[in-house]
Amino acid sequence: MSIVRNQVLFVLALVSAAALALTGFVTHAPNRLVSGRALALWHAAPVTAAAALAGGVLALLVVSLLPQSRPVRWGAAAIGSALILLTLDAAGQVAAGLIDPAHPAARTALGAAAWVLVLCAALAVVDAMQRLGAGPLLRSIVAAGVVAAVGALLASGRLDALSFLREYANQRDAFARELVRHMALVAAALVPALAIGMPLGVAVARRPRLGQGVYAGLNLLQTIPSVALFGLLIAPLSALAAAFPVLAAVGVQGIGFFPAMLALVLYALLPVVRNTQAGLMGVDAAVVEAARGMGLTERQIFWRVEGPLALPVVLAGVRIVLVQTIGLAVVAALIGAGGLGTFVFQGIGQYATNLVLLGAVPTIVLALAADLAMRTLVELAERRRSP
């Protein structure tokens, strides 16, 4: 009989403790291009901050040994959330303490221990929500709460000394611009993908023969690596724009926003078509026949019966596409489309890890937020359905 009541939490607490004991909490470097020296929590952080973190990890360990009642699980979620904030705040304090006016180029970044701690704390929250049987709606609320708290911490200025935020300070205007551009690119790709993919999915559901050709084409597109597809579009689109000035006038060109959008649309089609078809095929044939037998017209059957019943599966497809497009849009920066990928590729070019993070972390947050929001929508659409 094990005394550990929650193995997941137990392992997370142990990993956190080991990371704190064995690896650097922050790294300190003389400038942004060289890799820094790792500083352990005990050496670098104020005693109160270090004690708070150690206490948080210990609390997770203790909770993993308690009988798992609902209050205990909520407790684990609360400790996990607090630990995320405490870790970031401690790193901010360390970085502030290391500021030296004689070395303005010196940078302090999150070290391995800090990353591991944030990750484990986040997983502890996810684990607690799962064990609580929380639906997407409740998860969204909790996630929004944690994100808002982290946002408040960022806004408070307590983390400003960290390398990541110093990159942000340098890029403040560019960041806002590229973030908006990233979202615009995703939206611009999503709308035509749905407008083309959904009717195509309906057509394929009605005529399975048609499906063979459509899927052959779409599957082929999926196998082309994204970098290659972006590259492949340059030549034909440039030629088109050159041959037809009208097209050039509406934005068709070899590089930039248009080819990026086009490539993202092409990648998005397969999940949309497949899920639309699957959703329609999944509607009980007896229900459709009953509808027809009642005297609904074909149009009424589609809009009132088949469509609503297929909706959860279609929305699941939209979720996949949204997350996929947010991620792929990073690569679009390579062909001059802008977006958060700009920082990623600049960072790679300059060996500046924290500049890469400035592009990558918001992309991940955006994708996770989109995922959770869509899951919530799917749940709401499914709520009243029969199993």
Footprint of another protein (CB under 8 A): 284, 286-287, 289-297, 300, 305, 308-309, 384-387
Pairing type for strands 107-110 and 37-39 reads: unpaired
When the beta carbons of 288 and 334 are compared against another protein, the nearer one is 288
Q: Which amino acid is at 282?
A: G
DSSP string, 204-241: HHH-HHHHHHHHHHHHHHHHS-HHHHHHHHHHHHHHHH
Closest among 214, 317, 211, 336 to 268, alpha carbons compared: 317
Min dist CB 300 to another protein, Å, is: 8
Cα separation, 117 vs 15, whole angstroms: 8
Min dist CB 293 to another protein, Å, is: 4
When the beta carbons of 222 and 297 are compared against another protein, the nearer one is 297
When the beta carbons of 270 and 291 are compared against another protein, the nearer one is 291
Cβ atoms of 335 and 234 within 8 Å: the answer is yes
Min dist CB 313 to another protein, Å, is: 13
Rounded to 5°, the CA angle 363-365-371 comes to 100
Cβ atoms of 30 and 106 within 8 Å: the answer is yes
For 365, half-sphere exposure in the C-beta direction (CA atoms, 13 angstrom radius) is 16
When the beta carbons of 17 and 301 are compared against another protein, the nearer one is 301
Phi, then psi, of 37 in degrees rounded to 5:
-95, 135
When the beta carbons of 17 and 316 are compared against another protein, the nearer one is 316
Min dist CB 172 to another protein, Å, is: 48
Run of H or E residues at 39: strand 37-39
Min dist CB 280 to another protein, Å, is: 14
Residue 39's DSSP bridge partners are 26
When the beta carbons of 195 and 290 are compared against another protein, the nearer one is 290
Within 8 A by CB and 6+ apart from 239, the residues are: none
Min dist CB 134 to another protein, Å, is: 23
Task: Name the token pair of 24.
Answer: 């650097």
Min dist CB 274 to another protein, Å, is: 22
When the beta carbons of 85 and 287 are compared against another protein, the nearer one is 287
